[in-house]
Amino acid sequence: MRKIRKICKGLMAVIAAAALTAGCMTAGAKETDESAAEKETIYEAEEADFSGNVHIESQLSGYSGDGYAAGFQDDGDACSFAVSVSDDGFYDLHFISAAQGGYKENYVNVDGENLGTVSVSDGSFTDSMLSRVYLSAGEHEISISKFWGWICLDKLIVQEAEPLDESIYQASAKLCNPNASESARRLMSYLADNYGKNIISGQYSSSGRYGKEFTVIKRETEKEPAILGLDFIEYSPSRVANGSNPKSTEYAIDFWENGGIVTFCWHWNPPEKYLTKEWYRGFYADSTDIDLAAIMNGEDEEGYQLLMEDVDAIAKQLQVLQEADVPVLWRPLHEASGGWFWWGASGAEAYKKLYILLYDKLTNEYGLNNLIWVWNGQDADWYPGDEYVDIIGEDLYPGEHVYTPQTNKYLQAVHYTDADKMVVMSENGCIFDPELAVRDGAMWGFFCTWEGEFVAKNTAIFAYSEQYTETSMLQKAYDSDVVITLDELPDLHSYPIRE
Q: Which residues carry out catalysis?
A: 335, 427
**How far does Cα 164 stand from its chain's mean position?**
19
Calpha distance 50→47 (Å, rounded):
9
| Residue 18 burial class via C-beta count within 10 angstroms: exposed 0-12, middle 13-18, buried 19 and up | exposed
Crossing angle, helix 301-323 and helix 248-257, to 10 degrees? 30
Radius of gyration of the chain (CA): 24
| Residue 179 burial class via C-beta count within 10 angstroms: exposed 0-12, middle 13-18, buried 19 and up | exposed
Strand ranges in 49-200 using DSSP code E only, listed in sequence order: 49-51, 55-57, 68-70, 78-85, 89-99, 104-110, 113-120, 126-135, 138-145, 151-160, 199-200
Q: What order do you get walking across the sheet with 113-120 strand by strand? A: 49-51, 78-85, 138-145, 104-110, 113-120
Calpha distance 391→484 (Å, rounded):
18
Count of residues making up the chain = 499
Asked whether the beta carbons of 266 and 232 are under 8 A apart, the reply is yes
| C-alpha distances in Å from residue 295, one per residue of 89, 95, 279, 299, 335 | 51, 40, 21, 6, 20
Calpha distance 317→171 (Å, rounded):
29
Asked whether the beta carbons of 361 and 311 are under 8 A apart, the reply is yes
Helix (H) or strand (E) holding 426: strand 422-428
Nearest to 221 by CA among 482, 493, 460, 478: 478
Helix (H) or strand (E) holding 272: none
Calpha distance 244→228 (Å, rounded):
21
288 phi and psi angles, rounded to 5 deg = -150, 150
Q: Which residues of 356-379 are buried (b: 16+ CB within 10 A; e: fewer)?
A: eebbeebbeebebbbbbbbbbbbb
Calpha distance 201→188 (Å, rounded):
16
